A and B are shown apart, each in its own frame.
Chain A
């Protein structure tokens, strides 16, 4: 029962979180729709002539009427960068596009302290709120007259601090002193007030908590600005990261993928052919392949580390296994998919078994093998990053994992972007190779 109630509590927590996100999702959808309205208006102005598509009276449900709108793609991507910029206060965008940021600056306020005997005295507190990563110069102040002395406090933006206002005073809290007013306005323990975008709160014990406004921008440790990410790209591509340059990190990841994939293909394709051409081999390997295929390669990482360690060997074994089953199944279905009329035609044209293999079965299976190769490359790329996250000396995954441990969020984001670009590039390359090498795909 406790498991069920735990699950139920989890579910409630998730639903609450989703509910919290609903306004943002609705806002984003409204943004998309308003861009659509603007786009339609612009298009109407620019193209008074109607094309064939505009003659269609039925477009909803007509799949051929839906092709990816290039303008929408451009706006969508630009918008992502703008949103990123506005929420991080980037210098690349004019400041009126920025979301209100965290308060930074210096201000004074005066508190009135009352001693146990009823005497009161004023003291000034100078508050300096500095930006993240800045080295503040602590303002110098005069201590002032009376039993309450002036204070100075330095706070980093997005943080709050407790002010031990009585620490330097002649009469301290333990002697019965307490704050009764701030800037002449009466305040009691447990109450708060706002001065210069800053919340001043007296705790129940009488200390003063100073909490500058955090704004709605993201703190760099959560989301660094685009220029920070760019700067880290420049930085680690010249100076490197953890003893290896960026090119080495990415190059090693790619190298592992290519070698692992090639080994998987070299073993998997003949295995698939054997399974497609011989019932003995089909029977022998079917249980193995059908069992290993649904095992996610990531689940093999611990075993591979135990067996082969965290070096290159282990990574390549893992990627070999990730590619092997996919390539074997692709080759098998490529062989099984040959139309019997093609084989019959080749026989009645005088081809021998070997010639049928060479001129009919292998070329006929190539489109399937290419599809498998595309899938396998994608899986290998995902697996290598995951394996490097777990343990590696170099590689894209290791880079973002170590950066996250050192709270270098800009390198984490940079790594994610580069991993995405490389994954996309691999897929594009495979599609291009497919178009060039097996142009007959799907035309049988």
Chain B
């Protein structure tokens, strides 16, 4: 039973004033090993909550998650996470950051060093191994974060808007890198993003979530991730299907946002 299965996951936050917020309601999902899933939705739809539950940082109020058949009860090295920004350890060099996971496991330093060197070559940071992380640009820092996650050889990689803080050009390069790493390593990846284009480009499967309560609104299976591996992503974007999907999803999210705004106005 390999892969990640999410079964009837619900999450309710109780607020101090006695009210409660239904962040997720009955979210079910099955991911086969090696699938790349992107999750999209308006703010407040519970995508980050979902990711935090999968990572094990939060316990759901009901439902369960199983990875390769065993129940998820807390954070673990088999579910690696890449954060938007600021999750690198600035007191360590690039090499030490990437080697953190193997070191925590108590892996043989010599083997760990080879892994780290190899991964830093893969993400294109060959010349920056001994630098301090705060000396690197934002894009390079995210490369370190990717390499650090891969060094642990996790079964699932969770990405919480990893490219959100990058400028457009760097972002495009990083998107190619994510596709390349996905194809080369065969990891299961869940990627949360705000950008519809990014979700389309990087999602083999794409989940659109709706807010209040957070739930799965629609699911797509897309060919663009496969097309984009080793390709110029701008070519992929020119595909007529890509434009069609993008407009459809944008309209969908736009409607949800409108609905939230309308409801808020009525409420006030």
Residues of chain A having any CB pair with chain B under 8 Å: 339, 341-342, 344-352, 355, 359-360, 363-364, 366, 438-440, 443-444
Contact = CB atoms under 8 A, between A and B. Distances in A.
Contacts of B88: 342, 345
A341 B89 CA distance: 10
B75 A440 contact: no
A243 B74 CA distance: 68
Interface in B82-109: 83-84, 86-91, 100-101, 104-105
A339 B132 CA distance: 18
B104 A349 contact: yes
B77 A348 contact: yes
Contacts of A363: 89, 91
Of B55, B84, B86, B100, most A-chain CB atoms within 10 Å: B100
Contact of A345 (B56, B74, B76, B81): B81
A352 B106 CA distance: 12
Contacts of B87: 339, 341-342, 344-345
A362 to B, nearest CB: 9
Given A439-B132, A440-B90, A347 B101 contact: no
Interface in B14-47: none
Interface residues of B, number: 29
The 10 closest A-B pairs by CB, nearest first: A350-B77, A443-B134, A347-B75, A440-B90, A363-B91, A341-B87, A349-B101, A345-B87, A348-B81, A351-B104
B80 interface: yes
B13 interface: no
B7 to A, nearest CB: 21
B93 to A, nearest CB: 11
Contacts of B205: none
Main secondary structure, interface of A, reads helix
B104 A344 contact: no
A403 B84 CA distance: 63
B220 interface: no
9 contacts: A339-B87, A341-B83, A342-B87, A344-B75, A346-B89, A347-B75, A348-B81, A350-B105, A444-B90
B143 interface: no
A416 to B, nearest CB: 40
B90 A344 contact: no
Contacts of A348: 55-56, 75-77, 79-81, 154, 158
A344 B81 CA distance: 8
A349 B152 contact: yes
Contact of B83 (A345, A438, A444): A345
A342 B86 contact: yes
B81 A440 contact: no
Given A349-B152, A350-B152, A342 B89 contact: yes
B148 interface: yes
B129 to A, nearest CB: 17
A349 B100 contact: yes
Given A350-B152, A363-B91, A341 B100 contact: no
B134 A350 contact: no
B86 A444 contact: yes
A444 B83 CA distance: 14
Of A339, A352, A440, most B-chain CB atoms within 10 Å: A440
Contacts of A439: 132
Contact of A364 (B56, B57, B91, B101): B91
Contacts of A344: 55, 57, 75, 81, 83, 87
Nearest to A443: B134
Nearest to B81: A348
